[in-house]
A and B are shown apart, each in its own frame.
Chain A
Amino acid sequence: MPATSRTYWLTTPCRLRRQDDSIRVERDGHPPTFLPIEDVRDIIAAAEVDLNTSMMSLLNKHRIQIHILGYYGDYAGSFLPAETAVSGTVALNQMRLASDDEHALPIARALIDNAAFNIRWVIDRKLLTRSYGVLKESIAEATTREQLMAAEGNFRRNAWEALDTKLPDWLQLDGRSRRPPRNAGNAVISYINGILYARILSALRLTPLHTGIAFLHATMQRHRHSLALDLAEVFKPLFAERILIRLANRRQLKPQHFDINTNQAMLSESGRKLIVQTVRDDLAETVKHRTLGRNVSYDELIYLDALALTRTCLEGSTYAPFRVWW
């Protein structure tokens, strides 16, 4: 990924307009802001955004994607530039692998295994040791994607319960709920997952992979980018659960960061800002990569995983999904 351009985040309602072949952002109560078009890699709009045709052709010209998150922070859609990097050879190989259980199941199994490993690392090693053991057994026996997903569901339920023991009462999840999230904890998780999905999609669009063909999730189900969902499995815990626990422990999350109604909750504007800022800083955090022998950011880890998957489709190398090593 080009290191010189960055992701821009919109957390207040704004209008994007084209001016002098660059972007002008208009917000209520602020003077207009100009974004250097050359500096924009992609835009994540986490608030109401108003776009027009000339803006879109500008985005298209500079190959900038804009991802839009809905009212509850769930992924609502993207504007993707017309030009894609998708290559026929890779896409065909990807399809061959995905449609053949002999190749797809090991990938799906590795995704679930490593996702669970990461969840356990983030939440609590001890509390989840038993569930992780059970999961390993059941995925070894599973012969279909549905069985794999079911095993993962069981593990997730235990993980949510374990997570609740780490959180103060008012942030507890009390079971996962989405669209709308029922409580504050769920609102945070949904929100971060939405952002992450968008980031992964951006990374996948840079590779020749087809985003609709997946190994674990049903391919092209409801025309979603299923492959992004696959990759999200292993990265979600590193961001969503981890950030929730950390913000709760540091008492950074406060009730005023939420708009809570009966049976539904969402982040308020200040809450959205806090989460976006935290995710942005976490994406820039670096770890020493063992095989590359240099520091890579979490953001780059996502891209490296997308590349590894490309290599699997092109050269048939074994795909080892991201697993926390530090």
Chain B
Amino acid sequence: MYTILVYDTATERNAAVLRTCRKYLRHQQRSVFEGELSTAQMHRLRTELEQRIDRAYDHILVYTFPPGTDPRRQSWGRPDDQPHDIL
């Protein structure tokens, strides 16, 4: 399922959260990630992240879209339309 993840964590934990997310999703900007995840991958990502954050202070938001659908996306300002799987 298509997933958008946004995190808001304390500065000292940012790097660890970023590194973890990078294994699963594409880094869109600052604290925003998106990409395709299976249910199993989602569970693994959640477990990994929960070990790294302070659950009393940090907050992570995850939006998912029903399988087979992609969110309609607009980007304003400097565009980022490169296909990400062809380098």
Residues on A close to B: CB < 8 A?
2-4, 6-12, 14, 20-22, 25, 27, 33-34, 36-39, 273, 276-277, 280
Contact = CB atoms under 8 A, between A and B. Distances in A.
B17 to A, nearest CB: 11
A61 to B, nearest CB: 12
Given A34-B22, A39-B24, 12 more contacts: A3-B38, A4-B41, A8-B86, A8-B87, A10-B87, A27-B87, A34-B26, A36-B22, A36-B24, A39-B26, A273-B86, A276-B86
B23 interface: yes
Secondary structure of the A contact surface, majority rule: mixed
Contact of A39 (B19, B36, B44, B86): B36
Contacts of B44: 38
Contact of B85 (A3, A4, A8, A21): A8
Given A36-B22, A36-B23, A6 B85 contact: yes
B86 A4 contact: no
B86 A38 contact: no
A34 B85 CA distance: 11
Contacts of B26: 34, 36, 39
18 contacts: A3-B38, A6-B36, A11-B86, A11-B87, A12-B87, A20-B23, A21-B23, A22-B22, A22-B23, A27-B87, A34-B26, A36-B22, A36-B25, A36-B35, A38-B23, A38-B24, A38-B41, A277-B86
Interface residues of B, number: 17
Contact of A9 (B22, B23, B36, B85): B85
Contacts of A34: 22, 26-27
B23 A14 contact: no
A39 B35 contact: yes
Interface string B39-57: 0010010000000000000
Given A9-B86, A11-B87, A277-B86, A4 B22 contact: no
B6 interface: no
A297 to B, nearest CB: 13
